[in-house]
Structure 1
Amino acid sequence: MVRFAGFVLRHRVVVIVGTIILTGFFAIGLTRLWVNSDFTSYLKPDDPAVKLFNRVGEEYKGNSIVMVGIETDDVFTYPALKLVGNLTEAFKQIGGVSSVISLTDTIDIREVEGTLEVGNLIDKDNLPSTPQELKRLREYVLSKEMYRGRIISEDGRITLMICRLAQDVDKSAVADKIRKTAERIAKGVKIYYSGVPVFSLEAQKIILQDAKRLIPIAIVVVVLVLFFSFRSVRGVILPLIAVVVSVVWAIGLMGWLNVPFSIISNITPVLLIAIGTAYGIHLLSKYYEEESGDGKARTMAALGDVGVPITLAGLTTLIGFLSFIGAYITAITDAGVFTAIGVGVATLMSLTLIPAVLSLLKPKGRRSGGDPSFGRLAGRMTDFILRSGKFVLILALSLSLIAIAGLSRISREVNLMEYFPKNSLVRISEEMMQKRFGGSIPIQIVVKGDMSDPFVLKRMRRMEKFLNSLPYVSNSQSIADLICEMNKVMNGRYTVPETPEGVANLWFFIEGKEILKQFVNEKRTEGIIQAQIGTTETGERIKIVDAVNRYISQLSPRIVVIRVSELKADQMERARDWLYGEMAEEMLLDAAARGVGLKIGRERLKDEIRKSLEAKVKLSGEIIAELRDELRSYFEMESEIVVPDNLIDPLVEEILKVASSGRRGKSDYLALLKGIISP
């Protein structure tokens, strides 16, 4: 290290000038630095889940949404609807917005003069204006689940405009444009903003605010520590210059390499200021201990004595930060690498720049290093440790064991909202979204299969019910919901039709609709189930994802078609057992989604269903009398099978006997008809 010290001091002018030039170069890099607050971009791009997320965004018109809500005394007024329409059209014109859903631009499925009609909920060019029209609209919209709690609050005071963003855009920038547009058009109206792009936009502001606030605080603290340690200008300035240079080099290099500043790497400057100062302090302390020789000689002696310890201290710290390489979150890797570079630069400056400058300065008398009482306290602590070595060792070991035991109590938990002040608009907005609309965090499930197959659609509906049964999950939606909604209008039942033909007839009405691009691919071989999560706590969201994965793992990837008429007795029993299980699961999911806690398991409920459906029913005399009249009327007026008048009463009585005995199979009634009606 003595030879290295001699080399540095022989070329001290070159060291100083070279440092200034390089610092200027890296300072230019600071102007190229940009902030990335998009949390999804922190994930490894080659992760299968990330690849799927990006593919869904590209193929289904984006998977990032910005929710803009406006609150009035009553949304169903002409001025409020006009405002919604104006905002919707303005948002559509913003580059990066792929679609907007709102009251004035959403699909509606209704019956018009006995036929199914699929169109817009509101004619944006002819908004309802009379009290009667507005009242009818309010009653209609609030009566439908596809709107209530999704784009309109249950009390009709808050409505949402849901902006879906394209995949390959700067989502924070687009969110900022949406916000500025809303503030320009909806002046004087209470506005809410939510969605991951909005969180990213606010986080970006916080990153910059934190850097502007924390770096000066760190510098002030370091200056005070250095001043009370050395009581000299050079004792303050030289270590501070070294860490400032390390910050400029490390962060400037990020700018030159186009590596963004993130919510994690924004602590790098503060860390470098706190850590890097120590290396300069070691050198200066040794320098002030030297009592003879000029500045160059004292610097040579000090660097020769503490150069190796400083190098080793910097090297171990640098290696520690490099251990972040390979972290799943790429922002952690970036922060680790550039903090390590900064530590390396701070170490280098302590071994080169500080000695070079010190050697040019006139040496002063030895410094006491601050308050002498601190030295006396340190001496007493040293004496105590040396006298009580065993006690100190046992105490340290005990504390270490307690700390190790506490590791198991650490939980993975991040709540994005905790990053924002309680009175911030983004936090207030998200709390409103969770309370009124089920939250703004999306969850998407990709389903591969024929989107025209009734069984596939029914399974998607089952998955939606399961999602709605989970805590914090609501508003699940897929193409199956549109099919069910149309079937309800056509046939009075909110279910998927039983046959492919029935599904195909309904598909005809929504063919070419823009909303389909959010639910199915062009070939109808894949669909998306979407839902909203009403919490930003990662612990709860991990539980939701784990529950979904467990549910999916239990599903069979095959579709088996059976013909009941061809089943043998044992096969029929297995099919019936499967059917009872399906009925039990449907009932449990429906109950859970509606907040009804059924204290019964699937198997027990399945057994109860079996008992109920297979038990012989004892019909009361009153019911038998009603059935007799209904059956007689049916055979006389409606039956397509012409039954002779003299055989109607005997046939009715035989049917009542079969029904009363509990025998309800097709073969029972077929045998009855053959016995009563001769060919």
Structure 2
Amino acid sequence: MKPASSIAAHLGPKSLLRTIIQHPWHVIIINIVITLIFAVQLPNLRFRTSIYDLAIEDLPQTKQYQTFKQTFGSEEIILVVAKAQHIFDPKTFAQLDNLGKKLSKVKGVKRIVSLPEARRAIDLSGQMSLGEFRAIISPIELFKNNLISWGERTTAICLVLKDIKSKKTVIEKVREIIKEEPLYLYQIGMPIVANALARFTKKDFFHLPPITFLIIALVLFLFMRTPRGVIIPAGSVIMGLIWTFGLMAWTGTPLSMLTMIVPVFLIAVGTAYCMYIFPEYDLALSKSDKPVHIHMNFGIASYKRPSLYDSTEDLITKAFGEINLALPKKRK
């Protein structure tokens, strides 16, 4: 039976380095296979970039809000704003009424609040003229700057939404409806802002990392002046990105607004950590002229110098820390 010290020696860093150096192609193939496995998972990467996903689930205020929605439904609204020469013009008012009826049929809209709806609520007999309705609501402060502007040239149709998870379909359907109307119309509200924020955040995710990568690659080339000085750090960073996002896709961990910084962060920090390799390799190269000895000296020097291992450990820790940010948020 082998002593514990002998087993530890076989499993130690030097033994691992020797195995890697003696079987370089095996190690390269294993890394390529692992990278391909994670790369296949990348199309399954999900995005959760809505501001609603930032809510901490177990806060008392969040629980009270969920209880409120169960009792009264969603409080979220979309305002469709209409501008005209005069809102109480019979033709304009009829167009607003027709628009309100179309919007009320949109799936996900619970009810609408508008001037035509207010008129129907007041005039149960249907005999009230438009001038009489205007005279009734004019003194009421509740209508001013809520449903109609002071100059009576702008009005808002309030769409009270149902408690649905995705409001994107409602926003797109409303957009289609208002495009067909002759009035000057636009929609606004927190669902619109949240949808735009999610859209632009996702867009930035696909644009900023390539730009960052190209800039860093250019800087590396200017300083190193060799293809090796660009390919080794860039290849390591690309592999790290594929492993990170492939693992997130595999485990079903979505990218959130907090973890959108991951690719830029890994590119910048990972490249800096990879730069430690070159002076260590050059130092090992100056001590021996045989490839195996060079690699062993390089590996042993890296092991003795904690900066390399600390950097690698730090990079992995930060990568998993960023993944942890995407997990369901619980207050500690």
**What is the CA deviation profile of residues 409-463 of structure 1, one whole-angstrom value per residue up to 9, with x for unaligned ones?**
xxxxxxxxxxxxxxxxxxxxxxxxxxxxxxxxxxxxxxxxxxxxxxxxxxxxxxx
**Cα distance in 2, alignment partners of residues 257 and 213 from structure 1:** 25
Structure-2 residue corresponding to 1:65: 77
Structure-1 residue corresponding to 2:325: 333
Structure-1 residue corresponding to 2:4: none
**Cα distance in 2, alignment partners of residues 256 and 174 from structure 1:** 31
Q: Please show how residues 204-219 of structure 1 align to structure 2 within 5 Å.
A: 204-219=198-213
Select the residue among 74, 78, 86 that pairs with 2:98: 86
**Cα distance in 1, alignment partners of residues 280 and 229 from structure 2:** 12
**Cα distance in 2, alignment partners of residues 74 and 209 from structure 1:** 40
**Cα distance in 2, alignment partners of residues 224 and 206 from structure 1:** 27
Structure-1 residue corresponding to 2:311: 313
Alignment size in residue pairs: 312
How far is the alpha carbon of 1:277 from its aligned partner? Answer: 0.9
Structure-2 residue corresponding to 1:170: 166
- Alignment CA distance shift 1:179-1:36 (3 Å): farther
> Aligned residues: percent identity?
23
TM-score between both structures, scaled by the size of structure 2: 0.82
SS at match of 1:105: helix
**Cα distance in 1, alignment partners of residues 135 and 146 from structure 2:** 16
Structure-2 residue corresponding to 1:558: none
Larger Rg: 1
8 Å Cα contact 2:258-2:325 kept in structure 1? no
| 1:150 maps onto 2:146 in alignment | yes
8 Å Cα contact 1:243-1:277 kept in structure 2? yes
SS at match of 2:158: strand
How far is the alpha carbon of 1:273 from its aligned partner? Answer: 0.3
Structure-1 residue corresponding to 2:188: 194
How far is the alpha carbon of 1:165 from its aligned partner? Answer: 2.0
Structure-1 residue corresponding to 2:3: none
Structure-1 residue corresponding to 2:282: 288
| 1:279 maps onto 2:279 in alignment | no
| 1:16 maps onto 2:4 in alignment | no
**Cα distance in 2, alignment partners of residues 295 and 90 from structure 1:** 76
Amino acid at match of 1:90: K
**Cα distance in 2, alignment partners of residues 200 and 276 from structure 1:** 32
Amino acid at match of 1:5: L
Q: Please show how residues 224-623 of structure 1 align to structure 2 within 5 Å.
A: 224-289=218-283, 290-291=285-286, 292-307=288-303, 308-316=306-314, 318-319=316-317, 333-334=325-326
SS at match of 2:107: coil
**Cα distance in 2, alignment partners of residues 23 and 270 from structure 1:** 19
SS at match of 1:192: strand
How far is the alpha carbon of 1:280 from its aligned partner? Answer: 1.8
**What is the CA deviation profile of residues 20-46 of structure 1, one whole-angstrom value per residue up to 9, with x for unaligned ones?**
233233233332223323323211222
Amino acid at match of 1:312: D
- Alignment CA distance shift 1:252-1:90 (3 Å): farther
Structure-2 residue corresponding to 1:120: 121
How far is the alpha carbon of 1:271 from its aligned partner? Answer: 0.4
Amino acid at match of 1:333: L
- Alignment CA distance shift 1:324-1:220 (3 Å): closer
Which segments of 5 or more consecutive residues in structure 1 lack a partner in the other structure? Answer: 109-118, 326-331, 338-679
Structure-2 residue corresponding to 1:4: 16
TM-score between both structures, scaled by the size of structure 1: 0.42
RMSD across aligned C-alpha pairs, in angstroms?
Answer: 3.0
- Alignment CA distance shift 1:239-1:165 (3 Å): same
How far is the alpha carbon of 1:207 from its aligned partner? Answer: 0.7
How far is the alpha carbon of 1:258 from its aligned partner? Answer: 2.9
**Cα distance in 2, alignment partners of residues 103 and 229 from structure 1:** 68
* Of 21-30 and 204-213, the range deviating more from structure 2: 21-30
**Cα distance in 1, alignment partners of residues 59 and 311 from structure 2:** 36
8 Å Cα contact 1:239-1:281 kept in structure 2? yes
**What is the CA deviation profile of residues 477-528 of structure 1, one whole-angstrom value per residue up to 9, with x for unaligned ones?**
xxxxxxxxxxxxxxxxxxxxxxxxxxxxxxxxxxxxxxxxxxxxxxxxxxxx
8 Å Cα contact 1:104-1:122 kept in structure 2? no
Q: Please show how residues 44-59 of structure 1 align to structure 2 within 5 Å.
A: 44-59=56-71
Greater RCO structure (CA 8 Å; 6+ sep): 2
